[in-house]
Amino acid sequence: MKKIMEVQIGGIKCDAVGCGFRDDGVKFSEYSHYVGMPCPNCGANLLTQEAHDHAMKYIKMATFLNKWFGWMGRDDGTYDAVITPQYDNKGMPDGVKVKKL
Ligand SMILES: [Zn+2]
């Protein structure tokens, strides 16, 4: 199926200042498991409910847009834009980064 955009989310990182814990092997489908989990390094919340809901909102939006407007996408399977949700150092949603391809 052709797509016009892709949401790229993956890996988990601790947003506490100076901690630096990250696990890039975590898939988005596993995120709900990490909501409220303490960081193994510093004990801060690894993934807030707000951050998870924020990411889900963009996944749903992209799924919707691809469903209805995917026909405008490219034939080679690449997409026009990549969306990456952003978070501040408290793990709170901080908009999105959109990269036009
Ligand atoms: Zn940490």
Instruction: Determine the distance separating the centroid of ligand 1 and the alpha carbon of 11, expressed in angstroms.
Output: 14
DSSP the chain: ---SEEE--EEEE--STTT--EEEEEEGGGGGGGBTPBPTTT--BSB-HHHHHHHHHHHHHHHHHHHHHGGGS-TTS--SEEEEEEE-TTS-EEEEEEEE-
Q: Is the pTM of this model over 0.85?
A: no
Instruction: Determine the distance separating the centroid of ligand 1 and the alpha carbon of 19, expressed in angstroms.
Output: 5
Instruction: Determine the distance separating the centroid of ligand 1 and the alpha carbon of 10, expressed in angstroms.
Output: 17
Instruction: Determine the distance separating the centroid of ligand 1 and the alpha carbon of 75, expressed in angstroms.
Output: 42
Instruction: Determine the distance separating the centroid of ligand 1 and the alpha carbon of 6, expressed in angstroms.
Output: 28
- pLDDT, averaged per 10 consecutive residues of the chain (101 residues), comes to 90 90 93 94 93 92 94 90 85 86 85
Instruction: Determine the distance separating the centroid of ligand 1 and the alpha carbon of 34, expressed in angstroms.
Output: 13
Instruction: Determine the distance separating the centroid of ligand 1 and the alpha carbon of 82, expressed in angstroms.
Output: 27
pLDDT value for 67: 95
Q: CA-based Rg of the chain, rounded to a whole angstrom?
A: 15
pLDDT value for 49: 92
Spacing of C-alpha 98 from chain mean position? 12
Checking DSSP bridges between strand 10-13 and strand 93-100, what pairing results, if any?
unpaired
